[in-house]
Amino acid sequence: MLFSNFFVLAEEKTQPATDYVAQLEKLEEFLIVISFIACVLITLAFVYFAFRFRRKESREEGKATQHHNLPLEIVWSFIPFVIFMVSFAWGWLVYKDVRTPPKDSLEIQVYGQKWNWEFIYKNGRKTTNELYVPVDRPVKLIMTSRDVIHSFYIPTFKIKQDVVPGTYTFLWFKANHKGEFQVFCTEFCGAGHSSMGAKLNVLSLADWENWLKTDPYKGLSLVEIGQKAFQGRCTACHKPTQERLIGPGLAGLYNTKRDLEDGPVVLADENYLRESILNPGAKISKGYPNQMTPFAGLLSEEELSGLIEYIKSLK
C-alpha cells in the first residue's frame, strides 16, 4: 500500500478485515495518487507561467491575445473526464458489492434501543452488546430500532448503516480473520449515546457453532442471571450503587418509598420493580426523565426474575 502505512502498522495491512475494505483502500489509494499527480502538475504549471510571463519592466503593459490550441484544450478536458469516469465506475462496483449480500449469508436480527444493541440468532439465542459471527462466512445484519434512529458502525470494516424505527435496513460483511472489533452508534440518540457500544467477536466456525449451542445461564443463580442481564442492558442508565446516572442508582432501592412525579408515594417492592422494567412510563420517579425504553417482550421470565433478585441484593 502506498500511503495507508503512514498511520497503520504494515503487519495489520497484510490482511484487511474484509474484502470490501481491501477494495475500498485500493480505490482510495488510486484517488490519492491521481490527486497528488494533478496537484504537482498544476503547481509546476503555475510556477512556470508565473516566471515565463512575468512583467519584466515596471512600465511594461501586457498585450491582449486571442489564441486557442484546440488539441491541447481537448486533451486537458478529456483526460480528467476519463479519470472521473474510471473513478465513478470503480466506486459504483465497490458500492454495488457492499450493498448486495450473498444468498447464503448468515442472517442475524439486530435491534437498537436506548442505549444498547440486541442480537437475535436463527436458533433463538439472544445477546446484548456482544455480536458473535464465524470467520470467512458472509453475515447479513437485518436491523431496526425500538425507539429512535440509531446508526450501526464497525470502523475496522468501514461499514455503517442507520437503524430506523418502523422499517428494516441491512448491512453485510465477511470477516477475513478472527478477533474482536468495536461497534459504535454514530447517530446521536440521547443522553446515553456515547455509551451505546458493542463488541463484534469473530470466531472459528467450530467455536461459533459450539458457542451457539451453549446456555449462557446454565449453572447460574437468579442473582447471577440478573447481574449478567444488568451488565448487558442497564449500565447506560443505572449503576449498582447509589450514584445517579440517567436513572437512579439501584443500591438500597428495594423496599424503600419512592416519590412519583404525579404526587403519590409508592413502595419499591417486587411488583414495582417488575412494572418499572417492563413499562417504565407507568410510574415515573420524581426528578427523573421518562427516557427508559420499555423491556416488555424483550426479557425472558428468567431474566426478569433475575434482575429483580439482583436489585434486591444491592445494598
| Eight-state DSSP code of residue 4 | G
Strand partners, 185: 152
Query: Would you state the pLDDT for residue 76?
Result: 82
Per CATH, the homologous superfamily of domain 1-50+101-214 is Cupredoxins -  blue copper proteins (2.60.40.420)
User: Which three-class secondary structure string do you get for 7-70?
Assistant: CCCHHHHCCCCEHHHHHHHHHHHHHHHHHHHHHHHHHHHHHHHHHHCCCCCCCCCCCCCCCCCH
What is the pLDDT at residue 149? 94
* Topology (CATH level 3) of domain 222-313: Cytochrome Bc1 Complex; Chain D, domain 2 (1.10.760)
pLDDT in tens, 10-26: 444 457 888 888 898 89
pLDDT of residue 16: 82
Could you give the residue range(s) of every CATH 2.60.40.420 domain in the chain? 1-50+101-214
Q: Model pTM greater than 0.95? A: no
Pairing relationship of beta strands 197-203 and 130-134 according to DSSP bridges: parallel
DSSP letters for 178-196: -EEEEEEE-S--STTGGG-
Residue span(s) of the chain under CATH 1.10.760.10 come to 222-313
Segments of the chain with pLDDT less than 50: 1-13
What is the per-residue pLDDT for 71?
A: 83
pLDDT value of position 84: 92
